[in-house]
Amino acid sequence: MAKTLELLFTNQKGGTVNISLDEPVDPISPAVVNAAMDTIVSEGAFTSAGGDLISKKGARVIERNVTDIELG
C-alpha cells in the first residue's frame, strides 16, 4: 500500500497549493504536521504561480493499493 502525505496551503491569490510527500513516517503526528506547515508558511519556504503560501488549509493522508497483473 502506497501512502502520500498531502499538505494543502492557500497562496496570496486565494488558490490552493498542494505539497505531496511520499511514504511519510508512521504514525503521522498531527502536532508535527501542524508545526511543519507553520514553519513552511512563516519561513516562506515555497512560492507558487499565485504568490507566496500565506496560510494552512489542511492536510491528509492518501493511501492506494497497487496490484501487479502477471502477463504470461
pLDDT, one tens digit per residue, over 4-45 is 999 999 999 999 999 999 999 999 999 999 999 999 999 999
Q: How confident is the model at residue 56 (pLDDT cuts 50, 70, 90)?
A: very high
3-class secondary-structure state, position 71? coil
Q: Where are the alpha helices (DSSP H) in 1-72?
A: 30-43
Check whether 72 has a pLDDT greater than 90.
no
Give the number of other Cβ atoms within 10 Å of residue 38's Cβ: 11
State the Cα–Cα distance between residues 38 and 44, nearest whole angstrom.
10
Asked if residue 1 has pLDDT above 80, the reply is: no
Phi, psi of 40 (to 5 degrees): -60, -45
Kind of pairing, strands 16-22 and 2-11? Answer: antiparallel
